[in-house]
Amino acid sequence: MDVAALEALARRAFHPEQPHFASALAAVAGISDCGAAWRELAARGVIPQGFIENDRRRFVMTAEFVQAALARGAPPILEDDRTPPTLRMALTLAADPTGVLAAESATEVLYSHLKPWGAREVTRFRWLGVEDFALRDVSLGVAFNAVLDAVAVSLEEHGVDWDTLLPLSPPDVSYPYLKSIKGYLGWGLAVREGLEVSGASWPLRTVLGRPFAELPNPFEPLLALWKTGYVLLTENEEEGIVKLIARQVPIQA
């Protein structure tokens, strides 16, 4: 994949396709309770029944949810729930159930590929609906950073300057995404050149000295995640908990 295609994928952050928004909105017409709406979406087949029953997928309680609960005179539940906290979040996922599942699947593959670098496999997804989010704050965790460091150091030891992998940085692509693009390009170059994970970086013994070609490529599932338009954050690496972020769809009050 060339640089232009990689940059185009990076720009998809917070821009999922959401092909089923109209049908999801019609399915919950007249329903204001997000829990009832979520169940109705499943009953009508807009979302898979597994969206209701999946204990690994939880939803982060938002300020919007807390404020709505207080306005009703109800004590807000501040812990994660299996039900979206707002009608907008329910519709956000219902608008793109295939993309949601693809994002979760790509995330699972990503962290399984990072396992030799010290990552734990995913145990829980925490979905968060936002109005806006600074992509400069995106972090995929210690293991992913170790991959980036190992690629950079191994290339530089063989005369390749990390910064030359992407000499022109487009201003509309955030820094963490630019680093990942460099990592993708650098990993491919390391494989083609038959390079090994350098001892000058700090990887675990599980990868130290091994050819990059023998290790699972973590950038392929990352690009698959980018394609969905959802944004990933590592949250609790020790417990395998990750956060997936979506911009909530706009609906009329």
pLDDT digits (tens, 9 = 90+) for 191-224: 999 999 986 556 678 899 999 999 999 999 999 9
Decide: pTM greater than 0.95.
no
Residue type, 218: P
Query: For the chain, how many structural domains are there in total?
Result: 2
3 state SS of 241: strand
d(CA 192, CA 204): 23
181 lies in the same domain as 233:
yes
d(CA 63, CA 248): 13
Digit-coded pLDDT (tens) for 112-148 = 999 999 999 999 999 999 988 889 888 999 999 999 9
Position 69 pLDDT exceeds 60: no
48 lies in the same domain as 162:
no
Please name the residues in contact with 253: beta carbons below 8 A apart, sequence gap of 6 or more: none
The last residue of a domain, from among 50, 76, 95: 95
- Taking alpha carbons only, the member of 236, 251, 199, 214 closest to residue 92 is 251
Looking at per-residue confidence, does 76 or 57 come out higher? 57
66's tokens? 């807390």
Give the angle subtended at the CA of 58 by the CAs of 55 and 59, to the nearest 5°: 155
Residue type, 244: L
116 lies in the same domain as 228:
yes
The answer as to whether 135 is a domain residue is yes
d(CA 229, CA 216): 23
127 lies in the same domain as 36:
no
Q: What is the pLDDT of residue 67?
A: 56
Position 78 pLDDT exceeds 90: no
111 lies in the same domain as 68:
no
Domain that holds residue 126: 1-10+97-253
